[in-house]
Amino acid sequence: MKVLGLETSCDETGLAIFDSSQRHNTNQGLIGQVLYSQIELHATYGGVVPELASRDHIRKLIPLLNQLLNECQLQKTDIDAVAFTKGPGLVGALMTGALFGRSLAFALDIPAVGVHHMEGHLLAVLLGQDAPKFPFVGLLVSGGHTLLVAVKGVGQYQILGESIDDAVGECFDKTAKMLGLAYPGGPNIAKLAETGNPHAFDLPRPMLGKGLDFSFSGMKTAVHNLIKDNPTDIDNPNHAQTRADIAAGFQFAVVDTLAKKCVKALQHTGFSRLVIAGGVSANLELRQILAKQLAKIGATVHYAPPALCTDNGAMIAFAGWWRLRAGQCDDLAVSCLPRWSMSDLAKVD
Ligand code: KG4
Ligand code: ZN
């Protein structure tokens, strides 16, 4: 089955084709993907402007589909099903993909399925060479979500903990903005942190002792206070080390908090595998510290290939295929769910 995946939940227009008959190949069945990032469009605003995002998805969907079909040497009529991101995300952005995907499927007389964006992130790990077996604990860390989930199979998700305020990615982005770095902040903070001392400043680890929920707004305030009390002018070379130290201290505090909660979640479930997914899972410091901490309790950490950590169409095509092969699909009505809990998803046998 060839599934066209469409991702438009935020600021990335991602399209890909997953062919289940080629799952045994080294590409794991992913026969082509194209991605257009709107980063430049939003850069001047320091964050995603929802209306601009929707308009740009509309502009890019058809040219990107044509480019993808060309690269795969396929016709539209070769596609067997369409999977689109149904939620969670920005309502206008989601609607562009839902309308486009549902209409295309209707015109081609093939099924369409709406995919949960975070399930897409989570299952992307199965597209890599390092695919873990079920069950595992999932740490989902993106611009909009911070979740710890017990995963017993596809669609069998129990939320163990989540952020009560800012998402981790959002916290990276806001800290980057305070340091005068461009959006998205995660990769820029990580780069600046390379030359910093993570122990120069002591940042809080909020809610460490309290169950499996997270809170990151206190960390953001702590960074704000550090910046107020220390000179961090981006144009002054004398301030470069302080900036790097703040970035490193912040990154270390976030990663340390996440790692400790992951160890707790593994001990709580008795599972021995952890999957990290979503944009922040691209963070190398997070991967390294998790590998070290988990080795101490005999557990392993798994993540998707780098290109599949941040938003993309491949994860949507792949998650859609799991649901389509179980006979699940959407009806003809076009709908999206900007707020949608993973625990409400149907089980896939
Ligand atoms: O999953 P994603 O691409 O989009 C959403 O669904 O939100 O995640 C984007 C988030 C952004 O907040 C970005 O700053 C963060 O992932 N991110 C990173 C890194 N790469 C992306 N955060 C920390 N370190 C990175 N290397
Ligand atoms: Zn995402």
Model confidence at 46: pLDDT above 90: no
| Count of domains for the chain | 2
Q: Is the dihedral of CA 168, 169, 174, 177 positive or negative?
A: positive
- Mean local confidence (pLDDT), 172-187: 94
Tens digits of residue pLDDT in 270-298: 999 999 999 999 999 999 999 999 999 99
Tens digits of residue pLDDT in 112-169: 999 999 999 999 999 998 899 999 999 999 999 999 999 999 999 999 999 999 999 9
User: Residues 6, 84: contact at Cβ < 8 Å?
Assistant: yes
- Quick one: pLDDT band at residue 47, thresholds 50, 70, 90? confident
Tens digits of residue pLDDT in 312-349: 999 999 999 999 999 999 999 999 999 999 999 999 98
Does residue 196 sit in the same domain as residue 101?
Answer: no
240-269 and 168-178 are packed helices; what angle lies between their axes, rounded to 10 degrees? 170
- Quick one: pLDDT band at residue 247, thresholds 50, 70, 90? very high
Does residue 105 sit in the same domain as residue 67?
Answer: yes
- Which residues neighbour 27 within 8 Å (Cβ) at sequence distance 6 or greater? none
Query: Which helix (H) or strand (E) segment is 33 a member of?
Result: strand 30-37
Phi, psi at 103, each rounded to 5°: -70, -40
- Mean local confidence (pLDDT), 205-229: 94
Residue that the structure tokens 């703040």 belong to: 246
Looking at the chain, the whole-number percentage of residues with pLDDT higher than 90 is 95
Model confidence at 109: pLDDT above 90: yes
The CATH number for 114's domain is 3.30.420.40
The answer as to whether 59 is a domain residue is yes
User: What does each C-alpha distance from 303 to 90, 173, 202, 319, 339 come to in angstroms?
Assistant: 25, 22, 29, 16, 25
User: Is 143 known as a binding-site position?
Assistant: yes
The amino acid sitting at 113 is: V
Does residue 156 sit in the same domain as residue 298?
Answer: yes
Does residue 16 sit in the same domain as residue 112?
Answer: yes
Q: How far is the CA of 124 from the centre of ligand 2 (A)?
A: 11
Q: Among the listed ranges 34-38, 182-186, 192-196, which one has the minimum average pLDDT value?
A: 182-186
- Quick one: pLDDT band at residue 110, thresholds 50, 70, 90? very high
- Quick one: pLDDT band at residue 209, thresholds 50, 70, 90? confident
User: What does each C-alpha distance from 216 to 174, 200, 233 come to in angstroms?
Assistant: 11, 20, 24
**What's 69-90 look like in SS3?**
HHHHCCCHHHCCEEEEEEECCC
Model confidence at 16: pLDDT above 90: yes
The whole-model pTM stands at 0.96
- Mean local confidence (pLDDT), 6-32: 96
User: Is 140 known as a binding-site position?
Assistant: yes
Q: State residue 335's pLDDT score.
A: 94
Residue 159 burial (10 A CB sphere; 0-12, 13-18, 19+): middle
Which structural domain range is residue 67 located in? 2-125+308-344
Query: Which helix (H) or strand (E) segment is 18 a member of?
Result: strand 12-19
Does residue 312 sit in the same domain as residue 299?
Answer: no
Does residue 183 sit in the same domain as residue 52?
Answer: no
Nearest-CA residue for ligand 1 atom 16 is 279
Query: Which residues have C-beta atoms less than 6 Å from ligand 1?
Result: 10, 142-144, 169, 172-173, 184-187, 190, 278-280, 282-283, 310-311
The answer as to whether 349 is a domain residue is no
The rounded mean pLDDT for the chain is 96
Q: State residue 130's pLDDT score.
A: 83
- Mapping DSSP to helix (H, G, I), strand (E, B) and coil, where does residue 195 land? coil
User: Residues 165, 217: contact at Cβ < 8 Å?
Assistant: yes
Does residue 193 sit in the same domain as residue 231?
Answer: yes
- Mapping DSSP to helix (H, G, I), strand (E, B) and coil, where does residue 36 land? strand
Looking at the chain, the whole-number percentage of residues with pLDDT higher than 70 is 100
Nearest-CA residue for ligand 1 atom 13 is 186
The answer as to whether 259 is a domain residue is yes
- Mean local confidence (pLDDT), 57-81: 98
Model confidence at 58: pLDDT above 90: yes
Q: How far is the CA of 1 from the centre of ligand 2 (A)?
A: 25
